[in-house]
Amino acid sequence: MTKITIEEFLQQDYSPQTVKSYMFAINHFLKLNRKAKRYKYKNIVEYMEEISQQQPNAKYRVVILSAIKKYYDYLVMSGYRADHPCKKLNIKVNSNQAVQVQDLFSSEELQLLLNRENRYENLDTRNSVLLSLLIYQGLTSDEIIRLNVKDIDLDSGTVYIKSSANLNNRRLQLLAKQILLFSKYISEVRPRMLRSSTDKLIITKLGKPIAVNSIHAMIEPLKPLFPDKSLNPKTIRMSVICNWLNEKELPLEQVQELAGHKWPGTTEKYFKADSQQQRELINRYFPL
């Protein structure tokens, strides 16, 4: 079997601009480190120490480290290595830019959003599909309205998210309970609601493609559940990302890919302070 190149590996998940940036950092790393394929954790720490002396911008260093991590992801995927030497290596960015995670919602609170029933069965099923994409996959409103029926693969249990100017494309796993729900919606409910020809997955009660303002309107009646917090599609997505990092403790790179963030620094903002203190001691190598 022909193995893909590292550039082709990156192209599977990232935009052309991100691939270009990562390839530049990887090639520079390999040029200066001829034995990089066999490097251990301490070798990469030493390299990043050198970078920190040359480049005071923490965000720039985050990009370099992320590119290096993808290089070792590629080696593991290709069978060149069985271990990843720097998967847990992390760079601390300016904490002043952190998301105010105390204002967000826990996974248990987000589950409450699915308990609301609609007097119309069709809308109840449609709303459950839409809400599940918000609270399980953390999609934006714009991503939801751009979904087509063909983007849902019930056989593999996945949803494909197209790239945008701000976010990368990605294929996300659906939960088992979502697959049954989506199957009912696509095969039974949506055809009953449809009034015009459209490939869009989510449609209104009038059978037309849903708009962003309609998603916000659907969330509006749920706001009394949390009178002291701001509930909207954006804060729901932010909560999901925060919970991936802090409740489930998923690796930063995995959360970056799940969220579609182009840069790991964007994902890092969602670390809670106590969780961030438990991360790798590499932070001490990069004082701000």
Q: Residue 181's Cα: distance from chain center in Å? A: 22
Tokens of 211: 């708009």
Indicate if the pLDDT at residue 15 is higher than 70: yes
Q: What is the pLDDT of residue 92?
A: 62
Please check the confidence at residue 104 and state whether its pLDDT lies above 70.
Answer: yes
Domain annotation covers residue 253: no
109 and 230 share one domain: yes
Q: Are 205 and 122 in contact (CB under 8 A)?
A: yes
- What domain range is 15 assigned to? 6-95+279-285
What's the rounded Cα separation, in Å, for the pair 42 and 24?
A: 23
* Contact between residue 251 and residue 87 where contact means Cβ atoms under 8 Å apart: yes
Assess whether 89 and 130 both reside in one domain: no
The predicted-structure confidence for 53-63, as pLDDT tens digits, reads as follows 877 777 778 88
Tell me, yes or no, whether 207 and 143 share the same domain.
yes
Describe the crossing of helices 58-78 and 16-32 by its angle, rounded to 10 degrees: 80
Identify whether 132 is part of a domain. Answer: yes
36 and 143 both lie in a single domain: no
Task: Please check whether residue 252 is in contact with residue 268, taking contact to mean a CB–CB distance below 8 angstroms.
Answer: yes
| Residue 132 sits in the same domain as residue 191 | yes
- Per-residue burial over 109-124, b if 16 or more Cβ lie within 10 Å, else e, is bbeebbeeeeeeebbe
On whether both 155 and 226 belong to a single domain, the answer is: yes
Same domain, 168 and 186: yes
How many independent structural domains does the chain possess?
2
153-167: per-residue pLDDT in tens? 999 999 999 988 889
Question: What is the pLDDT, as a whole number, of residue 277?
Answer: 45
Is pLDDT above 60 for 234?
yes
Q: What is the CATH number of the domain that holds 218?
A: 1.10.443.10
* 111 lies in the same domain as 54: no
Residues 110 and 214 in one domain: yes
Is the residue at 263 inside a domain? no
Residue 237 has pLDDT above 50, yes or no: yes
Answer yes or no: is pLDDT of 231 > 90.
Answer: yes
The helix (run of H) or strand (run of E) holding residue 152 is strand 152-153
Same structural domain for residues 87 and 122? Answer: no
Query: Which of the four pLDDT bands, split at 50, 70 and 90, describes residue 130?
Result: very high
> pLDDT grade, residue 68 (50/70/90)?
very high
Tell whether 130 and 79 lie within a shared domain: no
